Structure formats: C-alpha cells, structure tokens
Chain A
Amino acid sequence: MSHNRQMPDAHGHYGRFGGRFAPEALVAALDEVETEWEKARQDPAFQAELAELLKDYTGRPSALSEARNFSEHCGGARILLKREDLNHTGSHKINNVLGQALLTRRMGKTRVIAETGAGQHGVATATACALLGLECVIYMGEEDTRRQALNVARMRMLGAEVVPVTIGSRTLKDAINEAFRDWVANVDRTHYLFGTVAGPHPFPKLVRDLHFVVGAEAREQVLERVGRLPDAVAACVGGGSNAMAIFAAFIPDESVALYGFEAGGEGADTPRTAASITAGSHGVFHGARTFVLQDEYGQTLPSHSISAGLDYPAVGPEHAYLAETGRASYEPITDAEAMEAFRLLCRTEGIIPAIESAHALAGARKLGERLGPDAVVLVNLSGRGDKDVNTAAAYFGLVDTEDQA
C-alpha cells in the first residue's frame, strides 16, 4: 500500500483543503487513530487479518464485468464495471468498515458509533461489529430512517442500536453532528467509525487507505483484460469514498482521466441539488476545509438528491484538491439522468445498481459519447440497488403506491 505518500501533509492538508477543525476534546482521540493506523499498516499481523477478512468474508477481489449491452448506450465505448455491489453487505463500504473495526479492537475500545445516510455504511458497520463483538450505535436522520426502513431493520437484526436524529434537516449531515456529540462524551471507550473520505484529519486519509484495494485491483484487472490502462475512470461522489477508492491507484497514471459525478438533484443550478463542487464554495464543514453548499453567511444549505447516499452538502477534502488542481473533473448528474441509467443497466445487463452508482453510470454514458468507441471507461459500480427498489418502483410507477400505504 505505498501510494500518494505526499498527500496529505502532516496536519492533514491537501493543498489548502482538509486539516482539522474539531473541538480540542477530540484531538487526543484523532491523534490516537492516526498513530495506531500508521502502526497497523506496518504490522504484518494486522494486514494479514484484514486481508483474510477482505478475501474470505467480503469476497474480494470483486469481479470486473464488461457491460457489452450497456455500452451501446454509451457511444460504443467499452464499459468495465468494478463490481463492488457483489461485496458482502452490498457495497464498497465494507472495505473501510472492516479495517476500522479491527483498528477499534487494536486501540482497546469496545464501542463503535457511526453515521449513515442510505444505510449502507450503517449496515456494514453493524455487520463488522457483530463479527468482532463490538457494541454498535448508528445515528441516522429521522427522514432517512423513513426512506430506508428496511436498512434500519437490517441494522437492528445485526444487533446495532439505531438512533433516529430529530434535529436540523434530519438527514446525513445531522446524523454526523450527533455522532460527533456522542463521540466527545464517550471517547475513552468509543471509536467513531467514520464512513467517508471527509471529516477531520486523519479520517480522509484513513478511509482512502482502507479503500485503496478497489482501484488497485481494478487497475490490474483492466490491464489483464484490455492490455492497457483505461482512458477514463468514473465514480459517483457524495462524500466521495467510492470515488477515492477507485481513483487513488490511478492518480499517478497521468494518461487516465478521473471523473467524479456529483448528485445534481433537480439541477446543479437549482437549490435542489447536492453538487457541492459544482455549485458550492470554499468553507469549513464537519472538520475539514472543502467545498460546501452554503449561503453568504456560511450557514449550510439543505442538499437534495434522489439518492440518500449522495445527499450531503459537502465533499471530502482530497476531492476538493483534485478538482482545484484539475487532476480530476467533477460534473453533476441530475436525478432524471441517474434514474435513466439505473433503468438501462437493469434492462441491458441484468444488474440492479444502487441509485448512487447510477450517477456514475449516467456519467459513463456521457464520457462514452465524448470519447467514442475506441475508449475504455472503468466505472465503479459501488453498490447494489436492493435498498432502492421502493424508490425506483415509485419513480417508474411500477407499483400502486396507494396500496403500499
């Protein structure tokens, strides 16, 4: 795992972004996480245990599928799907969670807290805690507990306590606020198992490192399959963990274009959006300097996306850095474009993607049209769509909604 060692700097900065904007009471805990992770990544026993879990529990390496039928809807470009949807618990989230759960045990802590939006990170965290015998509390916006009731039941089935957050906008950002409040009061025995590449240092780096395996595998798989590197890599971006997962190994490959597709919602030029790089401005949010959707006084604006997992008003600081330096490009995808790509993948490939991942698929369609049939586009299919069946069925009018109520 030697990559990109120059980023971040010792204080967690990616250029002008990142850093640590957190209460002093959490500094000792953040330092402990940083120090222990540096030790763990050098520790062969820790790495062996993690590797075994990733292989025998998660099912890594995940497959690389060529989407030949879907490719006809992408200007004929070759579309290769990195199948994180096939992981245990149904998304890329498990990679980070297993690593941090092992780290929790290594730090001698017995309790884990986490935030969740769509429920994928919450389910993955509850799963790892069940496996390792850790107490688990998941904070979830009350609004999201309604949108994702099935995932609430899954987490409870796995032994986690799910706490609905009833303050603020009652979505992911408020769940994160509440998790931080819990952490500062219980930090001596609790690890905050942060779910994305945002937050105060060292979380953006830690989460990136634990997901590095995704891009590293995909890079080898594409080379073996196609005989060369892809022309472009595409991923959806909310907080940005699955995008950093597939980008990180390709950052040194200058011939490979990196594309992050943000949740445009009803349009990045409307207030109903979650596209923080496209529509936001520089600010400090949830512990890091990054792009934030905010008003002229620095108050956070409510975000909107049809995808609960992308419904977040900021983005991880390394993405802010990649956007500013031009190493990666970020474009918005509307709810409608994402749902069209969702439908297409179901019908042409027999794969139901998460609505989050459908944003990457919609982006791949645009890239394919631009790059033409000789192009190879690698897409991170970050999660499966089982959790989204209700949303999609309602969107496409596949069920009589009155019967459901």
Chain B
Amino acid sequence: MTGTTLQTKLAQARSEGRAALIGYMPAGFPDVESSIRVVQAMVAGGCDVIEVGLPYSDPMMDGPTIQRAADLALEAGTTTDDVFRVVEAGAATGAATLVMSYWNPIERYGVERFAQNLAKAGGAGVITPDLLPEEAEEWIAAGDREGLDRIFLVAPSSTDRRLALTVRACRGFVYAASLMGITGTREQVSDTAEGLVRRTREAAGDSGLPVCVGLGISNAAQAAEVAAYADGVIVGTGFCQRVLDAPDLETGLIAVESFARELATGVRAR
C-alpha cells in the first residue's frame, strides 16, 4: 500500500520500533535562504518530518520564541509563496514536509490554490492549529483532491466525542497537544500527555491513525519519555531558540543539527 511521504515515514519509524522525529521551523526565519539551510540541517541531524511554519502576524497559540521567529520572518518580507519554496527544499531532502499554518493566510491565498501549490511543491499535508473539523469542509475537500494529509489537534480538555470527531477528520496523524498551553519549552513533559494519547488511540480504533505529541519537548530525555507512548515527537521552540541564540547562521546550523541528533537519539531510546 502506498501512502503520502508522511504516512511512509511514520510507518517506517513504527517498523523500526521507534517514534518519528518531527521538527518545526518558520519559513523565512531569519530569511528564506537561511531557513532552507536550517531545514536541511534539521534533516541531516535526524528529523524524519519537517513542519514548515507559515509566519503570521497574530500567532495566538505561540509562545515568545516562535512569536519572535515569525516576527523576524515577516520583517524579512516572507510570503506564502516563499513558504512553498521552503517546502520544496524540505521535500528535496527526502523528509516528509508539512506546512503548519493559522487558518487566515490559507483562506486568503485561496484554499484550492494553496492545496494545489503545496502539492506541486512536494508538500505532504497541513497542520491547522486554529481550524476545527466543524469549519474545515472546504479544506478537507481540497486536500482530498490533491492527496494531502490534514492534521488537526486534540487537547487534554477534548471530550471523547470530540476526539472521535477529530480523528475521523485527520489523515496522516493526529497532533496531541501535551498540555493546556502555548508553544514553548517546559522543564517537564506534562503527565497529561500519556493519558491523552491513550484516549486518542481508543478513539482512532482500528484505523491505527498515528498519534504524535507536541508542546514543551526540548531535550533527548523528554523525547525518549514521549517516544515510549507516541508515534512521533514534535519539537519547535528548541530549534528556533538555537537559531535566535547563534551569533551567525553557520554557528546556528551546527547547533540545530546537533540538537536534532540529540533528539533523534531520544526517539530511539524508548
């Protein structure tokens, strides 16, 4: 059975008895060409899947680090078309490449046009953190036409009824938010994450839809802890922070690659 590159990557990780490593980076941060090199460094370090962030002026679910990265990307003049360039470069590395975006920029670009251009760039799908399945009819239809995966989120506060609704709408995987909060590193991974993953798997039933966990994961030990019960470990803020902290791009690339390597060890140490 052939699936999208995302489905293939997740199945491959599962067959190796490990979790997949999923890394997030906003397109255009600190500029388009540099963000392409950062993505390449993430893959070189061991990311199986790349989430290319579409920088947005009002990132309601992001903490200070990703807000800052997105702000810099917008100041650098990054557009939706630039996002597709970064996706194309990500896909060229062999990693499954997704876009993560707030909904308005997709709707403004045109849902159909967005889906077509993403597919053309080799993108595998889209994560939509502020789009609920109830409002997603147009996107689901467009994604289906282009063979794109669609990833909605579940949260610790989701009722069983909503878990069932959301996993039915997902394709590729379901994104389990480990805690009630916004993006950013945390000292400890919330213990609500494991329970949420268990409930989500029950809701997914026989479909076997992979469940990947994000929010607050920032080191190998946390990655290993989450990898023990999830199909994928999602890390964003830690990558952005390394680029922000570096005195120049080359130093940043080294830090990003070595961070990815550390996390890649973690997802294999379940």
A: residues with CB less than 8 A from B are 11, 19-29, 167-168, 173-174, 177, 180-181, 184-188, 283-287, 292, 294, 296-300
Contacts and interface: CB of A to CB of B under 8 A. Distances in A.
Interface stretch (B88-96, B103-111, B203-211, B248-256): B103-111
A25 B157 contact: yes
B103 to A, nearest CB: 5
A284 B104 contact: yes
List the 4 closest pairs (A to B, CB-CB), nearest first: A298-B108, A25-B155, A298-B105, A185-B181
B180 A283 contact: no
A180 B182 CA distance: 10
Contacts of A285: 58, 104
Interface stretch (B34-42, B129-137, B227-235, B236-244): B129-137
B69 to A, nearest CB: 12
14 contacts: A21-B135, A22-B132, A23-B130, A24-B132, A25-B177, A28-B157, A168-B58, A173-B58, A177-B58, A181-B60, A284-B107, A286-B58, A298-B80, A300-B58
B54 to A, nearest CB: 9
Nearest to B74: A299
A23 B61 contact: yes
Contact of A181 (B79, B106, B159, B182): B182
A303 B34 CA distance: 31
A181 B154 contact: no
Contact of B182 (A173, A185, A296): A185
A299 B157 contact: no
Given A24-B166, A184-B182, A283 B157 contact: no
For chain B, the bracket of interface size reads: 35 or more
Nearest to B175: A24
Nearest to B68: A167
A24 B135 contact: no
Nearest to B179: A185
User: What secondary structure prevails in chain A residues at the interface with B?
Assistant: mixed
Given A168-B67, A177-B59, A284-B104, 16 more contacts: A19-B135, A22-B132, A24-B152, A24-B153, A24-B157, A24-B158, A25-B181, A167-B67, A173-B58, A177-B60, A181-B60, A284-B107, A297-B79, A297-B109, A298-B56, A298-B108
B168 interface: no
A180 B134 contact: no
Nearest to B159: A28
B156 interface: yes
B140 to A, nearest CB: 15
A21 B131 contact: yes
Given A23-B155, A167-B64, A184-B180, A284 B103 contact: yes
B162 interface: yes
B15 interface: no
Most buried by A among B58, B59, B80: B58
Contacts of A20: 132, 134-135
Contacts of A27: 132, 155, 157-158, 162
B57 interface: yes
B57 A168 contact: yes
A25 B180 contact: yes
A292 B61 contact: no
A97 B140 CA distance: 38
Nearest to A284: B104
Interface in B94-143: 103-109, 129-132, 134-135
Most buried by A among B57, B104, B156, B177: B57
Contacts of A23: 60-61, 129-130, 153, 155, 177
A43 B108 CA distance: 43
Contact of A29 (B79, B131, B157): B157
Contacts of A187: 157, 180
A24 to B, nearest CB: 5
A24 B103 contact: no
A136 B60 CA distance: 21
Most buried by B among A180, A294, A296, A298: A298
B103 A21 contact: yes
A188 B61 CA distance: 17
Nearest to B67: A167
Contacts of A174: 58
A298 B132 contact: no
Contacts of B166: 24
Most buried by B among A188, A285, A286, A299: A299
Given A21-B103, A27-B158, A177-B60, A297 B108 contact: yes
